Amino acid sequence: MVCCGLVTAKNEPVPLKSIEVEVEVRDHVATVVSNLNYENKEDKPVEAVFVFPLPGNAAVCHFSAKIGGKHIVAEVKEKQQAREEYDDALSSGHQAFLLEESDQSPDIFTLSVGSLAPGESAAIRLEYVTELAVEADDGLRFCLPAVLNPRYCPQGSESTSVQVTPVAASLVPYTLSFCARVSSPRPVSKVESNCSLEPLQYLNTEQNQATVKLAAGHKFDRDVELLIYYKDAHQPTAVVEAGQATAKAGTLMGDPAVMLSLYPEFPQTVISSLASCGEFVFLLDRSGSMDCPTSNSKHQETRIGSARDTLLLLLKSLPMGCYFNIYSFGSTFEHIFPKSVEYSEGTLEEALKKVQAMDADLGGTEIFQPLKHIYSQTCIPNQPRQLFVFTDGEVCNTKEVLDLVKKNSGSHRCFSFGIGEGASSALINGLAKEGRGHAQFVTGTDRMQPKVMQSLRFALQPAVQDISVSWHLPKGVSANVVSTPLTSIFQGQRSLIYAQLIGQSSEAAEGSVTVKYSLAGHPTENQLKFSLKPAKDTGLTVHRLAAQTLIRALEAEQREESGQPEEGLKKKVIELSVQSGVSSSFTAFIAVNKDINEPIKGPLTRRNVPIPAFAMMPMMYMSCSVPKMRSCRSAPCPPAAAYYSPMAASSVCFDAADESLEAAKMYLAPSSRVEKSIAKPLRDPLLELVSLQKASGCWMLDAALATALGKPSKELKKKKPSAVNNDVWATILALIWLHGSKMEAKDEWELLALKAASWLRAQNAPSVVECVEAGNTLLGFSVQKDALGL
C-alpha cells in the first residue's frame, strides 16, 4: 500500500515509456508542456502512481489524457470531490486520471493513472507556467525539476514506514526528450546548462528567438537547468493580456490583466555606501544528506564542505561593529554563542574554529525549532537582523515553516540558499519571499561563494522603507492589484506586480506605474510607462500567473486564521482555482473516461516507478518517514526518499533522519572508511589566504602568509620597505595577490578587500606607493595603487 518509489528486486515493469518536454520561454516567463507516454505490457490491468516535484511557484493549468484516440480534458474540482470521483470510477471499472498538489508543500504533486488495460497505451499532457528567477550574473534560471530528495518529517508528526529500493540511473527504462524555444524583445546572448545541449539555433537575424535541445542520453541524475542570458536584461517591461472570452466580465479571468517587471535603480551614492552595522545570523543545515557531493562530477566536494568554506568568506567579509551568531541544525540544533555577539578578532576566531569542526552529523532536517529560537531572541537596537539559511533538505511541514517566517517578517530579512540537486523550490523561494530577502540555488558545479556574497551585498544595502505603488490609468480604468504588496527592493533585482485592469479603454491608451520608497533617508522613485494594447499569443499566461499569485496569498491568509471561521477564504480559493483552471492545495484535476466498450475487470495492480540512485550512493534498502498526502484508499504517501519526476527522473540522497538510517550508515561504513583514507585535496589558495585575514581587515606578516603567497618567509621580510610596518606590508601583499591572480573570483573577495583597504587608509602609512611597487616586483604582478582602493 505504497504510493510510489518502490521497485522490486525482480525489476517488475513500470508502464512509462517516454517523456517529452517542450518549453516556451517568453522573456522571463516559461510555459512547460510535458507529455508522458505509458504502455501496459502486462497481462493484467494496472494503476500507476507517480510523485514528482514542480517549481514551487508553478501554476499548473492543464491536464489531459489520450487513450484509444479519445481525448479527455481534466476539470479542476474541490480535492475531496475529485478523489471520490476517481475512486468511484476505478471501482466501476472505468479509466480515471487524478492530479493533485500535496497538502504539505506546493512543489510536490501526485499523478494517478487508473485502469490501464493489458496492452493499452495512454498519453498524459501536463502544462504549467512559471516565472524565471534572476541569477547573480543576470542570467534567468529555468529549472525542470528532476530530483525529489527526502521530505523529513519532524518528531511527532504522522508518518508511515516503507521500504525503498533505489536503482542505478542506467537501469531507468524510460527516455527524456527536451526542447526549449526562447523569445524576447531583446537579443538572446547565450543559453547555458548543467546538462549536455545541442548547439543553440537562432530563428531570425535579430537573434531574439532561438531554440535549444537536450542532447541524447540524459543520465537522469540531476535537474535540467537552463541559464538564459539576454542583452540589456535589466529593462523594466509590462505585458497586458486580454481576458478570457468565455469568462465573466468583472472577474480576474474575464478582465484584462497586466504583469509588470520592475528593476529599481538605486542612486550610486547609496550603492557605494554599504552598511557597517547589522545582526547577521547564519543557519546551517547539518543533516546527513549534507555529506553528499554537490554534484555528480568526480572529486566534487561535499555540500557541508562547500558551506563551511562559504561561511569563512562571509565571516571575513562582515563589517567591524556588527553582531553575529551561527546556528546549525539537524534533528536538534546548536548555536555557537548563547546570543549574538559583537564582531571582533576574539569572537571571529572562536566562531571559525567551531565552523571548521562542523560536520553533517545532526540527523534529520528539523528547521522549524531553530527558526523559532532565533525569532525568540530580542533584536539588537540599530542592528537590523539579517538571516542566512543554508540547506539542501526538504521538510514535509514547508507551509508551517513559511508561516513562521512570515509572522516574523517585520523583524528581519531572510536570504536562503538551496544546496545540491533537488532542493525544495517551495522552501527556498518561500523563505526569501516571506522574509523579504533573496533566494539562490547552488547546483551542479556551481560555486556557492559568489552567489552568497551577492546576497551579503543585498543584506548590507540599507533596507528600503515606505514602499508605495501608484497607478496612472486612463479615465474609467482602474487596477486591482492581486500581488502581495512589495515589502523589499534590492538594487538590480526584479520585482513582479500582477493586476486586474477593470473598465474600458482604447487600445491606443497608455498607463504608468510609479514605485516610491525611502532609501537611507532619501525619497526615491522609479516609473514605468506602458501601452494598454493587449499583447498577442500570450495564451493566458499572465492571467494564470496572477491567479496563482492570488491563490497562494489567500491560502496563506487562510492558514493564519486557522482555528477561526475559515470556510470563506477556502471557498474563495476553490472558486478562483476552478475559474482559472489553476491548481491549489484545496483542488485537484480529475478526468474520467466512461466511454469504453467494456469496463475493466479484475483487481488493479499498482505499479510504482524505479528511483534512479544518486551516482555517489550505493544501492541500499532503507526505511523512511512518510508524510500522509492521500486520505483516499488508505494509501500513505509519499515515501521520504527521492522519487521519480514525470518531467525527468529523480535521483536519491538520504538524510540520516531515523534509526533505520543508522543501519544504512553501518552498511556504508566500509566504503566510507575507504573514502576517508584518501588524502584530502589541497585547500583552495584563495580560501587559504582569506582564512589568514584578521577581523579588522589586515593580514599578519608570518610564515602562513608566505606559504599562501608561495614565497619564502625570509624573502617577504627582506623585500619590505623599511619605513612600513609588518601588518601594512602584509596587507598590501595580500591585496596585490588577490587583484593579480584571482580577478575571476572578485565577487567572492571584493567585500573583504574593501575592508582591508579601509584598514590601510586608517593607518596613514608612509610609502604606500613604494610598497605597491615592491609588492608587484616580489609577486610578479603589475597592479596599480588605485585598483587596490588606496
521 located within any domain = yes
Residue-number span of the structural domain to which 739 is assigned: 685-788
Per-residue pLDDT at 732 = 95
Is 427 domain-assigned?
yes
Residue whose cell numbers read 480534458: 73
Q: Are residues 506 and 584 in the same domain?
A: no
Please work out, in degrees rounded to the nearest 5, the angle formed at the alpha carbon of residue 432 by the alpha carbons of 483 and 142.
80
Q: Give the mean pLDDT of the chain.
A: 81
Kindly state whether residues 134 and 202 are assigned to the same domain. Answer: yes
Cα(105)–Cα(73) distance, integer angstroms:
25
408 and 394 both lie in a single domain: yes
Q: Do 451 and 317 belong to one domain?
A: yes
Over residues 261-271, mean pLDDT: 75
CB 700 within 8 A of CB 722: no
Q: Is the pLDDT of residue 493 over 80?
A: no
Query: SS3 for 98?
Result: strand
Whole-prediction pTM: 0.78
Q: How many domains does the chain have?
A: 4
Say if residue 197 is in the same domain as residue 304. Answer: no
Burial state string for 699-729 with b = 16 or more CB within 10 A and e = fewer than 16? bebeeebbebbebeeeebeebbbeebebbbb
Torsion of CA 541, 545, 550, 554, to 10 degrees: 120
Evaluate whether residue 6 is within a structural domain.
Answer: no
Long-range Cβ contacts of 677-685 (<8 Å, 24+ apart): 681/299, 684/309
Are residues 151 and 164 located together in one domain of the fold?
yes
Question: What's the CATH code of the domain at 343?
Answer: 3.40.50.410
The whole-number pLDDT of residue 602 equals 56
Sequence-ordered alpha helix ranges (H) in 634-721: 659-677, 685-691, 703-709, 713-718
pLDDT of residue 461: 79
Residue 139 pLDDT greater than 90, yes or no: no
Q: Note the pLDDT of residue 363.
A: 85
Q: Select from 460, 481, 513 the last residue of a domain.
A: 460
333 and 472 together in one domain: no
| C-alpha cell belonging to residue 305 | 564542505
Q: From the CB of residue 187, how many other CB atoms can be counted at a distance below 10 Å? A: 16
In a domain, 98, yes or no: yes
| Digit-coded pLDDT (tens) for 205-239 | 999 999 999 888 776 667 788 999 998 777 888 99
Q: Please list the residues that pair with 30 across neighbouring strands.
A: 25, 130
Buried b / exposed e along 556-574 (16+ C-beta atoms within 10 A):
bebbeeeeeeeeebbebbb
Which of 41-50, 73-82, 656-665 has the least mean pLDDT?
Answer: 656-665
Which pLDDT belongs to residue 8? Answer: 29
38/154 same-domain check: yes
**Cα separation of 289 and 149, whole Å?**
9
User: What backbone torsions phi and psi does residue 731 show, to the nearest 5 degrees?
Assistant: -70, -40
Residues 257, 319 share a domain: no
> At 620, is the pLDDT very low, low, confident or very high (cuts 50, 70, 90)?
very low
Instruction: With respect to residue 69, please indicate whether it lies within any of the assigned structural domains.
Output: yes
Pull the grid cell for residue 222: 540531476
Same-domain status, 556 and 586: no
pLDDT at position 616 is: 33
Place of cell 567585500: 751
pLDDT the model gives residue 714: 93
pLDDT at 128 over 90: yes
Burial class (CB in 10 A: 0-12, 13-18, 19+), 254: middle
pLDDT tier for residue 262 given thresholds of 50, 70 and 90: confident
Closest CA to 292 of 203, 205, 392: 392
**3-class DSSP assignment, residue 560:** helix
Q: Are 84 and 607 in contact (CB under 8 A)?
A: no
Burial class (CB in 10 A: 0-12, 13-18, 19+), 341: middle
- 148 with 205, same domain: the answer is yes
pLDDT in tens, 467-483: 899 999 999 999 999 99
More confident residue, 330 or 16: 330
Final residue before a domain boundary, out of 442, 460, 478 = 460
Residue 487's pLDDT is 79
Please check whether residue 4 lies inside any domain of the structure: no
Would the pLDDT of 393 be above 60?
Answer: yes
Which of 622, 646, 670 delimits the end of a domain?
670
- What does the pLDDT look like over 670-689, one tens digit per residue? 333 334 333 344 568 999 99
| Residue 298 confidence (pLDDT) above 80 | no
59-77 average pLDDT score: 91
In a domain, 251, yes or no: yes
Span between the terminal Cα atoms of the chain, in Å: 69
The domain that holds 522 is classified in CATH as: 2.60.40
- The span from the CA of 367 to the CA of 328, in Å, is 9
Is residue 623 predicted with pLDDT exceeding 70?
Answer: no
Whether residue 379 lies inside any domain: the answer is yes
Residues 308 and 218 in one domain: no
Please list the residues that pair with 62 across neighbouring strands.
127
Q: How far is CA 205 from CA 212, 269, 468, in A?
A: 16, 40, 41
Averaged pLDDT for residues 437-449: 81
> What is the structure's pLDDT at 450?
85
Q: What is the pLDDT of residue 5?
A: 32
> Is 173 a residue whose pLDDT tops 80?
no
